[in-house]
Structure 1
Amino acid sequence: MTLQDLYTALLIGGTVLLASIMAARTAHRIGLPSLLLFLAVGVLLGEDVIGLKFDDAALAQSLGTAALAVILVEGGLTTQWQGVRRLLLPAGVLATAGVAVSVVVTAAGAHFLLGMDWHLALLLGAIVSSTDAAAVFSVLRSLPLPQKVSGLLEAESGFNDAPTIILVLVFSTAAADLPGPAFVLGNVVYQLVVGGALGLAIGWIGVFGLRRIALPASGLYPLATVAFGIIAFAAAGAVNASGIIAAYLGGLVLGNAKLPHRAATRSFAEGAGWLAQIGLFVMLGLLVNPSELSSAVLPAVVVGLVLLLVARPISVFGCLLPFRMPWREKTFVSWAGLRGAVPIVLATFPIVGGVEGARSLLNIVFVLVVIFTLVQGPSLPAFARRLGLIRPGALNEVQVETAPLDVLDADLLTLTVPAGSRLQGVAVFELRLPPPTVVTLIVRDSTTVMPQRETVLRAGDELLLVTTPDVREAAERRLRAVGRHGRLARWLGETGDPATTPAGTAPDHPART
């Protein structure tokens, strides 16, 4: 490659990156997972449109697996342990037994409805059985759902990639004879146990080291933190264990430890995760040829309907039967099982393994992901409201953003007083925020107001508050409580809990903690 070729490649790459970032903004505004527009960018660049040829399934598999590792490390780093710790058991059951049920039911549908032989049917069932972490994170974190529901979906999507990858690998290498259940179960148990143990161990080693080693520049801490997650992924893969579960658990340990420069680490991890998603989806869009997709539409719709309306509900309601969870929440969890990059990456495994008919599986999976993401993604807010999972007026409540100030061991909170909020007319001293929380600045009509005790809040006011990590949650609850019931919120029994049932909602509202 000449220097001029390098400049050309960088120009194209930078342009594609910026186009993908604009696509992410557009997708967010219309309520779609960004992956769809990233895939569209890849398809437009492909040989059927602009003419860029890319058909190396082995390279796509390798790069895709590496990108998934980065995405899952970022997912672990940004997952709140407090929100998922009580959900580990149901999430683990969904990620293992639920995956097995989905694989069998989906494979049966493909076999009996489409006449697909059992080997390809089981491969297809395994490929599409897992929910996608990137798609779930991008859509659900913008919805004001009960913590139990969003935490369960996030934990499941972080854990269930590992079992599905194991199943796809097993079926892809079994071109002649399908392995017995005992072999499959033993392989899954080994990979999950060893991969999980390595992820936790390397995460704890990273926490121990980063707390005690003074690095010469603050920008090195995010690099080191993400590096430990990648090491966990690679170490597990080196011993034929699950690198995916190791990467997620390693990131979970590191992200929930009190490490230096946590805000910078989180920002860096999110940027790396976005870069991995963009590269992954654009590459997968390049891998398919639109001219070959028309024949895959019917089987994709049939398999997708079996998965969405039969396999997923059976697995969710069956696996969550032992857990006390309202039927509304189970129904939403069933509908919110979004598919994304993981199935498309997994569809490259049988191609590399030389499985006959594997290319048609790739086309079916691609069409299935696109169609059902278009159906499920935009429908989630309305579906959640229909089930009563989004509280009336929740979108008008105070939305608090946090920016940790590591040096001062403090958090900066920001909020805007929404129209209709009971915060209007409340004086600063009547907020009665837990010490040492203070309102430091009010931005009103593009001007700054230095708050006094008697300063009365108005609709549209932007407040900046400084608090400490220990009382941040209490401060957020108090702000939320006053926003709901005004200065007398405490007397009215309002605690500001985001998962409690506000006055006026149905008594069987499932949002409980």
Structure 2
Amino acid sequence: MSNAVWFVAIGALLILMGTRPPVLQRLNLTPSMVYLSVGVLLGPLIFGVFHFNPLKQAHLLELFAELAVLLSLFIAGTKMPVPFIWNAWRVPLRLAFISMTLSVALTAAFGYYVLGLPAGAAIALGGILAPTDPVLATEVQVRHMGDTDPLRFTLTSEAGMNDGSAFPFVILGLLLLGAPVSNELLITWGLNEVLWSTASAIVVGLLAGRLLAQCVRGQRCLEKQAPLLDDFLGLGLIGLTYGVCLLIDAWGFLGVFVAAISLRQSEMTLAQSEKPGQDTETAADSFDQPHETIRHLPTGVSKGSLMFKESLERLSELVLVVLLGGTLFYDSWSFRAVGLGLFLFVIVRPVSVFLGLIGSGAPWRLQMLVGWFGVRGIGSVYYLMFAVVFGLPEELALELIHLTLVVVVLSIIIHGLTVKPMMTRWWGP
């Protein structure tokens, strides 16, 4: 497929999605479903115009997925309307850590006992498929700053956190492929990959977001008329936070999400301190009122750079999902892969959500919807490519690629077809 054909195909697809034809809206098709359809049509499954080989292009796909997840995590973090208070965050925290751990365990058990994978590969597969996705789940994510809908907030904050909290299990699976289980290995893994990497990522994110907000405030106080490049500042915060996390072996995805939340909350706190009489609702006050928004939101780096980053997110989603469609063959739809996907959506996700939220006080209706919308997507693709680049044996790499990509495609189709009707019922009487 020549460069000219790629430009024509991507350009036509961008114009199609930009004009939002009524037929697509009537069919309730999500953007990801449209992109996937184009990839399937152009790929080896239909016309064979191109074929994307994720094993040979693992480094490239890992980089693309990594950038897409970072952008989405930052966008999700800047839209988080709720301050750091336990009452508001207890449900997504339980989902991101307790439910996610249960999801890894159940998926790993299926991989080991049903699919016949080695224990290390089964655990790695559980970690790869555990995180819910901030990229492909835009229909159920927080829409804008001040959106305090409980379902959107819960799914968005869960996706932001579990993209980091799943990493230790991927690492554990890869370690077990190269060494037998031992107390020393498990203790070292727990101290380094769980405690240190998680805690340090949270600290780095909190400090980075707070420091940028303070620096910008000081700059604007010194030169009130001097324009600041909010886009560059936001991208700089992503790069700085992620880079520092990598240098100290912290989970960079979690660090970037926390940095975005910290930046937005710091900007709001600083703006309120300058105008103590300002009538500002906090999301904590209106959290139980889904349609109410925060008034008089202060402007800042987070808000100023949001539109640019959302455009980059949509473009990265388009490219990655089209490439995903170009990986599929007729024999990709094996009983093993489809069975794993259905097991994950119908059993693992609802059961892990139910068990993780016992005693949380979350309404049953919220638990049921959260239990269904565990969208798998670009986060899983990144973890998969990370494992391949890490050095998986080729036979295992091909097996995990096959299983993971089919599960992601099934998620795009199944969750894409159900998201709008179910969200309409959620917002309805």
Q: Please tell me the TM-score bracket, short chain as reference.
A: 0.7 to 0.9
- 1:242 is displaced (CA, Å) by 0.7
- In structure 2, give the amino acid aligned to 1:64: A
- 1:18 is displaced (CA, Å) by 4.9
**Residue 60 of structure 1 contacts residue 283 of structure 1 at CA under 8 Å; is this kept in 2?**
no
**Residue 338 of structure 1 contacts residue 376 of structure 1 at CA under 8 Å; is this kept in 2?**
yes
- 1:350 is displaced (CA, Å) by 2.5
1:185 equivalent in alignment to 2:190: yes
**Residue 211 of structure 1 contacts residue 259 of structure 1 at CA under 8 Å; is this kept in 2?**
no
Select the residue among 305, 313, 323 that pairs with 1:265: 305
Runs of 4+ that moved beyond 6 A = none
1:281 equivalent in alignment to 2:321: yes
- Residue 120 of structure 1: aligned partner: 121
Select the residue among 236, 251, 264 that pairs with 1:255: 264
- Residue 169 of structure 1: aligned partner: 171
- 1:298 is displaced (CA, Å) by 1.2
- When normalised by structure 2's length, the TM-score is 0.78
- Residue 32 of structure 2: aligned partner: 35
**Cα gap change, 1:79/1:318 in structure 2, threshold over 3 Å: closer, same or farther?**
same
Q: Distance in 2 between matches of 1:248 and 1:70?
A: 9
- Residue 402 of structure 2: aligned partner: 363
Select the residue among 197, 210, 217 that pairs with 2:216: 210
- 1:133 is displaced (CA, Å) by 1.0
Q: Which has the higher strand share?
A: 1
**Per-residue deviation, residues 83-132 of structure 1 (Å, max 9, x unmatched):** 99743222122111211110111121232223333222222211111110
- Residue 224 of structure 1: aligned partner: 233
- Greater displacement, 119-128 / 333-342: 119-128
- Greater displacement, 129-138 / 26-35: 26-35
**Cα gap change, 1:51/1:235 in structure 2, threshold over 3 Å: closer, same or farther?**
same
- 1:52 is displaced (CA, Å) by 5.9
- 1:32 is displaced (CA, Å) by 4.1
**Cα gap change, 1:114/1:21 in structure 2, threshold over 3 Å: closer, same or farther?**
farther
Superposition RMSD in Å: 3.1
- Residue 22 of structure 1: aligned partner: 16
Unaligned runs of 5+ in 1: 1-7, 393-513
- Residue 439 of structure 1: aligned partner: none
**Residue 78 of structure 2 contacts residue 302 of structure 2 at CA under 8 Å; is this kept in 1?**
no
- Greater displacement, 377-386 / 355-364: 377-386
- In structure 1, give the amino acid aligned to 2:385: T
Q: Which has the higher helix share?
A: 2
1:326 equivalent in alignment to 2:366: no
- Residue 465 of structure 1: aligned partner: none
**Residue 100 of structure 2 contacts residue 166 of structure 2 at CA under 8 Å; is this kept in 1?**
yes
**Residue 338 of structure 1 contacts residue 377 of structure 1 at CA under 8 Å; is this kept in 2?**
no
**Residue 164 of structure 2 contacts residue 253 of structure 2 at CA under 8 Å; is this kept in 1?**
yes
1:92 equivalent in alignment to 2:89: no
Select the residue among 142, 158, 161 that pairs with 1:159: 161
**Cα gap change, 1:201/1:298 in structure 2, threshold over 3 Å: closer, same or farther?**
same
- Residue 134 of structure 1: aligned partner: 135
After TM superposition, the structure 1 = structure 2 runs for residues 419-434 of structure 1, keeping only pairs within 5 Å, are: none
**Residue 385 of structure 1 contacts residue 391 of structure 1 at CA under 8 Å; is this kept in 2?**
yes
- 1:41 is displaced (CA, Å) by 4.1
- 1:313 is displaced (CA, Å) by 1.8
Unaligned runs of 5+ in 2: 268-297
**Cα gap change, 1:325/1:106 in structure 2, threshold over 3 Å: closer, same or farther?**
same
**Residue 112 of structure 2 contacts residue 122 of structure 2 at CA under 8 Å; is this kept in 1?**
yes
Select the residue among 386, 389, 392 that pairs with 1:352: 389
**Residue 20 of structure 1 contacts residue 38 of structure 1 at CA under 8 Å; is this kept in 2?**
no
Q: Distance in 2 between matches of 1:305 and 1:64?
A: 24
**Residue 76 of structure 2 contacts residue 157 of structure 2 at CA under 8 Å; is this kept in 1?**
no
SS in 1 for 2:246: helix
- 1:337 is displaced (CA, Å) by 1.0
**Residue 42 of structure 1 contacts residue 284 of structure 1 at CA under 8 Å; is this kept in 2?**
yes
1:310 equivalent in alignment to 2:347: yes
- Residue 418 of structure 1: aligned partner: none
**Cα gap change, 1:11/1:306 in structure 2, threshold over 3 Å: closer, same or farther?**
closer
SS in 2 for 1:160: helix
**Cα gap change, 1:155/1:84 in structure 2, threshold over 3 Å: closer, same or farther?**
farther
Q: Distance in 2 between matches of 1:263 and 1:132?
A: 22
- Greater displacement, 242-251 / 55-64: 55-64
Q: Distance in 2 between matches of 1:260 and 1:384?
A: 31
SS in 2 for 1:64: helix
- 1:225 is displaced (CA, Å) by 2.4
**Cα gap change, 1:53/1:153 in structure 2, threshold over 3 Å: closer, same or farther?**
closer
Give me the identity figure in percent: 23
- 1:307 is displaced (CA, Å) by 1.4
**Residue 63 of structure 1 contacts residue 280 of structure 1 at CA under 8 Å; is this kept in 2?**
yes
Q: Distance in 1 between matches of 2:211 and 2:87?
A: 24
SS in 1 for 2:254: helix
Q: Distance in 1 between matches of 2:15 and 2:83?
A: 31
- Residue 50 of structure 1: aligned partner: 49
**Cα gap change, 1:197/1:64 in structure 2, threshold over 3 Å: closer, same or farther?**
same
**Cα gap change, 1:115/1:171 in structure 2, threshold over 3 Å: closer, same or farther?**
closer
- Greater displacement, 254-263 / 87-96: 254-263
| Count of residues paired in the alignment | 379
Larger Rg: 1
